[in-house]
Amino acid sequence: MNKRTRTVLTHSSSFGGTGHMKKLLIWLTALAGLFFVLVIAAILIIPKFIKVESYIPQLEQQVSDVTGRPFQLGDDFSISIFPWTSIAFNDLQLGNPENFDSEDFIRIDSFEARVKLLPLISGQVEVEKFILDGFALSLVKRTDGKDNWSSPAQADAPQSTTKDQQEPEPSSTPAVSQDDEFIISSLEVQEFALTNGTIIYLDQITNQKTAVTDINLILQDVSLQKPVQIDFKAIVDNDPIELSGSIGPLGRVPGQEAIDVNLVVKTLEAIAVKLEGTISDATTTPQFSFDIAIDPFSPRALLDKLKFGLPITPSDPQTLLNASATLKIVGSPSAFSIEDSTIKLDESTLNLSAIVQEFSKPDISFNIQLDSINLDRYLPTPAKEEETDTPGDSGSATTTPQAAEGEQSQGVAATNRGTEINQSDESGPDYTALRKLKLMGEISTGQIIAHGAKFDSISMKIQGTDGIFTIEPLNVRLYEGDVGLLANIDFSNANLVGSGDLTVTNLQVGPLLEDALKNKQIEGGLAAKIALGFTGDNADEIRQSLNGKGELKFVDGALIGLDIADMARSLASGLGYEKPEEKPKTDFAELNIPFTITNGVFNTQNSSLLSPLLRVKALGSANLVSEALDLKVQPKIVGTLKGQGDSKARSGVTVPIIVEGTFSKPTFSADLKELVTGENLQQALENPEAAKETIETLEESGKGLLKSFGF
C-alpha cells in the first residue's frame, strides 16, 4: 500500500471515530435521563408499595440496643422522600434504664415533619410543617445519685486518668473541611408547633418534684430574613407562665449580624417583664444590650402566688403593694454593666448603676442612690412592753448584792458556754469569697426612718480588695448633728480584724431618744470621739478582744426624771427622798464621759457632770464579756439656783452611790464608809429609821442615775 492509500484510510478512520463518539454521548445522555426518571419514579412509587410498618420491630430493636432502654413505636409510621421528605409516627415510647420506675423516660403521642427535598441541594430549607404533639419527659434522680437521663455508657464508664485526659488518642475520622459544611442560604418554616407537652423532674434525695405541664410553643414567620414570632405558654407547679414576642431577623449567616430581641414574660398572673435589645457577634464574641422593664406589680401578691408568704408582718398593711423597675444591662459572657436603672417600691425610688467583671474573681463597682424610705412601715409592730418606772420612782426594782453576785456568776457561766460552743467550731467562717472580691462603691440616701429615728441623709464610700475593706467615710446627718465613721475590716487572715474611728458633732440626743426609745432620759448636744479595734469571728470573740478609747461630751442639757441635788440632799439629811409631783430633771452645763476599753472591759475614772448647783463624778468599770458592774457615782452640792426660780433649800452633804451586779440585774447601795461619818453618823444614831429609809430610797433611785451616765 502506497503512501496516498494510507493517508486516505487514515482520514476515513478519523471521520468514522468522531461519528461514533457523538452517538455514544447521545446514548449516555439518554441513559442518564432515563436513570433520573427511574430514580424519581422509584422515589415516588416504591414508598407506595413498600410497607414501612414491617420494619418497625427491627427499628425498635436497634434503638433499644443503642440506648439500653426499651423502645416502642406505634403502627402509624410513614416515610416519604419526594417531592417532600417527610416522616410521621405516633405513640413513641422510650423507657427508663433498669431499676427505675416503669414510667417512660420520653413519650410522644404524634410527630410529623415535611421538608422539600430539591431545594436542599442549593442550601434552601423549606419546611412545610414541624409538629410535635403530646410529648412527655420524665427526669428522675434516685437516692443513690444516679439519674435516668445519662446514657448507660456514661453512667458505667470509669473515670479517665489524668494522662488520658491530657493525651487523647487522635481521631480516625477525617476533619470536615469548611467547603464540606452545609450552609443554609435561606430558611422558611410554614408551621412549627410543640403542643400539649409535659416535663416532670423528681429528686428523690430531697423529695423535690417540679412539674411543667400544658407546654405549648408556636413559632410563626420562621425565616432568616424576618423576625420569628414566638408564643409560649406553660404551667409550672400550677402557676401559669407566658412568653411572647419576636427574635430576629437572624440574618443569612446566623450569628454574624445583630439579632433584635423583643419579648414579654408574664408569670404567676402577677408580674410582667418586657425585654428589648440586641445580641451581636453571637458566634464569636457575644455582646448584648437589653432594656428591661418590670411593670408595676404587688410584691405581696407575688409572694402569695409563690406560697412563700411574708417573712415578717409589716406594721403598715399598705406597704409592698406597688413595685416596678427599669433596667439597662449591657455586657458579654465575661462582664456586664447596669446603667441608669431605677427600682421603685411603694413611695421610694432607688437609682442604680454598676459594673461587674471577672466572675471567677469578681470586680464590682456600684453607685446607689435612694431618695427616702420609712423602714418602720416594713418592720413588725413592736411588742408592747410593760410600763417601767422612771428613774427615781419608788417602784424601781432593787437587788441585793448577794443576788447580784449569783446573777453575775450565771452571766459569766453563760458567756463561757457560748465561747466554748463557738470555739468548738474549729473551721470558722469561710472568707474565701470575700478575699476574691474587688469592690468599690458609693451609697447615698435622703431621709430614712428606722425604729422611730429620723436620718436626714446618709452617704458612704466603700472599697476593698484581697479581703481588706475600707469604709471611708460613712457620714450621717441627723437631729441637727453629724456622725462620721472611718472603718477597716480585714478578712485576709484566719480571723476577722476590724477597727473604726467614730466622730459625733452637735447631735441633739433628746429628740433622738424621744423618737427612738419613746423615753427621753437625757437631752443636750453630744460631741464624741471614739476609736475601737477588735478581732474575732463571733460576738463573744469580738467582745473579748475589744480595745479602744473615747469620750462623750454633752453640753447644755439635762437629766430627765432625776433631780440629783434634791435626792442627795434628802438622802444625806435622813429625810428620805419623796417622788416629786412633776417629772424632775437635773440641768447641766456639761456632762463628760471619757473612757477606755481593754479586752472587753469598759473603764472610766473621771466622768463628770457640771451644773450651777452640783458636781457629779463617776468612776469604775463595766465588763462587756461577763456583764459585771463595778461603779461609783459621787454627787456634790455646791450652791443654790438663785434668780432662776429655784426656791428649794439645796444645802446638804453628798451620798456616794455604789453600782454593782450585772447589766440585767444591777444593784445600788450607799457608800457607807463615806455616809456614816461625822454629822451623818450622829443623825443615823439619833434616827435609825430615817437612815434606813435613806439607804433604801438610794437603792431605788440609783438605777436612774446610772442610766443618766449612759452605763
Are 700 and 393 in contact by the 8 Å Cβ rule? The answer is yes
Distance CA 699, CA 711 (A): 16
How many C-beta neighbours within 10 Å does residue 170 have?
6
Cell digits of residue 181 = 459544611
d(CA 523, CA 587): 9
Provide the pLDDT for residue 476.
Answer: 96
Backbone angles phi, psi at 369, to 5 degrees: -130, 125
The span from the CA of 711 to the CA of 707, in Å, is 6
Q: Phi/psi at 181 (nearest 5 deg)? A: -70, 145
Concatenating the DSSP letter of every residue in 393-441 gives: -TT-----HHHHHHHHHHHHHHHHHHHHHHHH--S----HHHHH-EEEE
What distance in Å separates the CA atoms of residue 584 and residue 579, rounded to the nearest whole number?
Answer: 9
The Cα 507–Cα 522 span in angstroms is 12
Q: What is the pLDDT of residue 114?
A: 86
- Whether the CB-CB separation of 358 and 334 falls below 8 Å is answered with yes
In angstroms, the CA 704 to CA 521 distance is: 9
The pLDDT of residue 579 is 53
Beta pairing, strands 448-450 & 373-374: parallel
What phi-psi label fits residue 268: left (phi over 0), alpha (psi between -120 and 50 degrees) or beta? left
And the C-alpha cell for 704? Answer: 436612774
Nearest-angstrom CA–CA distance, 444 and 340: 15
Q: DSSP H helical segments within 536-656, as ranges?
A: 539-545, 564-573
Confidence (pLDDT) at 163: 45
pLDDT on residue 7: 42
**Cα 366 to Cα 352: distance, rounded to the nearest angstrom:** 7
- The phi-psi region of residue 652 (left if phi > 0; otherwise alpha if psi is between -120 and 50; otherwise beta) is left
pLDDT at 684: 54
Backbone phi and psi for residue 707, each to the nearest 5 degrees, phi listed first: -60, -30
Counting beta carbons within 10 angstroms of the beta carbon of residue 384, is it exposed (0 to 12), middle (13 to 18) or buried (19 or more)?
exposed
Residue entry with cell 473551721: 427
Domain ranges of the chain: 45-149+184-252, 255-380, 431-510, 521-711
Task: Using CB atoms within 10 Å of the CB of residue 366, give its burial: 0 to 12 exposed, 13 to 18 middle, 19+ buried.
Answer: middle
CA pair distance 457, 103, nearest whole angstrom: 62
Residues of the chain with pLDDT under 70: 1-53, 102, 151-183, 383-427, 564-582, 637-655, 672-711
Q: 281-301 pLDDT, tens per residue?
A: 888 889 999 999 999 999 998
Torsion sign across C-alpha atoms 527, 533, 538, 540 = negative
Measured between alpha carbons, how far is 465 from 364 in angstroms, rounded to an integer?
Answer: 10
DSSP state of 147: B
Task: Please count the other Cβ atoms lying within 10 Å of the Cβ belonging to residue 697.
Answer: 22
Q: What is the pTM of this model?
A: 0.71
Cis peptide before 83 (omega within 30 of 0): yes
The string of DSSP codes covering 233-255 is EEEETTEEEEEEEEE---TTTTT
Q: What is the Cα–Cα distance from 617 to 657, expressed in whole angstroms?
A: 10
User: Residue 176 gets which letter from DSSP?
Assistant: P
Query: Is-contact 101 142, C-beta < 8 A?
Result: no
How confident is the model over 322-331, as pLDDT tens digits? 999 999 999 9
Tell me how far apart the terminal alpha carbons of the chain are, to the nearest angstrom: 144
Cis omega before residue 249 (within 30°)?
Answer: yes
Please give the Cα distance from 266 to 243 (Å, whole number): 6
Q: E strand or H helix at 504, and its extent?
A: strand 497-508
Q: According to the model, what pLDDT value does residue 587 have?
A: 84
Cell of 672: 457607807
Q: What is the pLDDT of residue 395?
A: 38
Task: To the nearest 10°, report the CA torsion of 495, 501, 502, 505.
Answer: 180
Task: State phi, psi for 681 to the nearest 5 degrees.
Answer: -65, -40
Q: CA 542: distance to chain centroid? A: 26
Residue 30: what pLDDT?
58
- pLDDT for res 411: 43
Burial 325-349 (b: 16+ CB within 10 A, else e): bebbbbbeeeebbbeebebbbbebb
